[in-house]
Amino acid sequence: MTTQGWKTISFTDDDYGYDYHHPLHDTVLRIMQAVYRQHNLHPPADIDHWWHCPSLRYHVQPGASEASKIRIIVQEGLAEIPEMDVRFVIDVLQGIVNDKGADVNQRTPVEIAGLLAKVAKWVQGKVKSAKAASEQAQLRREQEEMKRQRELRDQTEAFVRRLSESKKTDEHWFTEDLEAGNCPVCRVKLTRCRACQKLSCSSKPGSSNPPCRGWEVDTIQWCEEHSTHAYCTTCRCAWDDKSAALLQCESCDRLKCKSDFGWCFGRPIPNPTEVNDRNDTTVGDAVAPPEAKSSSVDVLRQHEAERLPCLECIKKASEDVFDRCDGPRCWSHTGPTGSQLRGFVCEDCSPDGGIWCDGDHKWFCDQCWSKPTDNDIFECPNCGGYFCTDGCSFDEACGWCDKVGLCPSCREKPSEDRIATPLNLTGKCNRCREMVCADCEQENPLKYCDRCHQDVCGGCFDEDEDRCYECKEGDSNYY
């Protein structure tokens, strides 16, 4: 935090919030009123953000613990002019007021001497507190830097000891290498293991000329996508299949972080007790895990979390062997190993291949395709094609019933060339944005909200309140 230079304090509600009351608000108001009376002007009743807007400015020299200048700047404005002019400048320390309109200096009224002293005391206290806080912050930074330097030297010395014990070299160690955290063999900056935090040489044989023997002490490896994600051999040997943070892609053989791979978390399947209680489900059918159990640790799945190729290899694949389901509630988006991983769907978890829209804009796995509420792909009753509402611009579907209209290309065909007729959409809810066909609107007409003057469907309209739920909620929040 900078403690020197000019600082400004405002007293308007716009700067601090409607309910804020600055501790000098009343004092500055009384000073301003006294100055107005001194110049035979009608004193303002209060401080506001436009008509009479004072601000307190003070200047602190570099290294000083007190302000060298303290001034109250009084500005005035008119409603017709989007500007403000400075009317008075009150020098708090010198006790002088400058009338900018007449360009005349006068001594401040005697009766406000105590008020000016109060302002000066408050400002000087604020400056001293800020300087003390700045010094404390600087001291903490220096202590943290000293601690960092000590840790750097200690960890560098630890690496040197490991290097000596391994008898990789008998070269002399330079003090400057210990201070800078460099490898004493190749003079390259040591790399920190992301797991155990110890320093190691990262000059892997083949990456430097000549190869550094110091790398063989910890044989540190790093992610080829993130240069700062490095791990020593001790930590890598302690990993199992689930805890490994650095993995090798089976397709490109490159080492990458766990988050750089695609994962299939396994399609959830119901247990026998759940199946017996549901008439519409059979053993083996997929069910979505409870949304509240994001970890899904107690959900029976088709298989354990399975690592797929890295994301780059998946993207370069000529065929879509692994797909990301576009279902907003798809089980593949959250898995037992953590939501930070990219979830895909393998062939075992979607054996029927799911469904692509004809424009290849969206893909839904078998489970999401089986649930109309979990996908936005519709089958055209005329051509039998599948179309999504986004990329394919399919918008001929009633949001209240299961009726689906024609795809854009079939709608342009002559009626004699169609085996299905277009859907007669007659209305649209202005809240949920669902289209309504003529049959549904005749059975349950759209409601008119007198508050927002919009047509809304019955699901978005409160019959008791005679207004839409959005307006009802807005009114309750207002009151």
Residue 322 is which amino acid? F
Q: Given this model, what pLDDT does residue 112 score?
A: 95
- Stretch 337-360: mean pLDDT, rounded? 83
Buried b (16+ CB within 10 A) or exposed e, 220-231: bbbbbeeeebbb
- Token digits for 244? 């490994």
- Stretch 272-290: mean pLDDT, rounded? 41
- Stretch 348-357: mean pLDDT, rounded? 89
What is the spatial distance between Cα 434 and Cα 373, in angstroms, rounded to a whole number?
A: 14
| 13: confidence class by pLDDT, cuts 50, 70, 90 | low
Nearest 10 degrees: Cα torsion 328, 331, 334, 335? -170
Burial of 66 (0-12, 13-18, 19+ CB in 10 A): middle
Give how far Cα 183 sits from Cα of 176, 201, 240, 260, 322, Å.
Answer: 10, 6, 30, 30, 44
Is-contact 467 448, C-beta < 8 A?
no
Per residue in 442-472, pLDDT (tens digit) is 888 888 888 888 888 888 888 888 888 888 8
Cβ-Cβ contacts under 8 Å for 235 (sequence gap 6 or more): 193, 195, 196
Half-sphere exposure of 3 (CA within 13 A, CB side): 22
Q: Say what percent of the chain tops pLDDT 90.
A: 24
Element (H, E) at 387: strand 386-388
Q: Which residues pair with 200 in a beta bridge?
A: 191
pLDDT of 196 higher than 80: yes
pLDDT of 405 higher than 50: yes
Phi and psi at residue 181, in whole multiples of 5°?
75, 35
Closest CA to 334 of 364, 370, 292: 292
Per residue in 52-105, pLDDT (tens digit) is 788 899 999 988 899 999 999 998 876 566 677 889 999 999 999 999 888 899
Of 137-151, 188-202, 266-280, 422-436, least confident by mean pLDDT is: 266-280
Cβ-Cβ contacts under 8 Å for 337 (sequence gap 6 or more): 242, 263, 265, 305
- Stretch 24-46: mean pLDDT, rounded? 91
Per residue in 165-190, pLDDT (tens digit) is 877 655 555 566 677 788 888 888 89
Per residue in 382-403, pLDDT (tens digit) is 888 888 877 777 777 887 777 8
- Stretch 405-410: mean pLDDT, rounded? 84
Phi and psi at residue 343, in whole multiples of 5°?
-90, 130
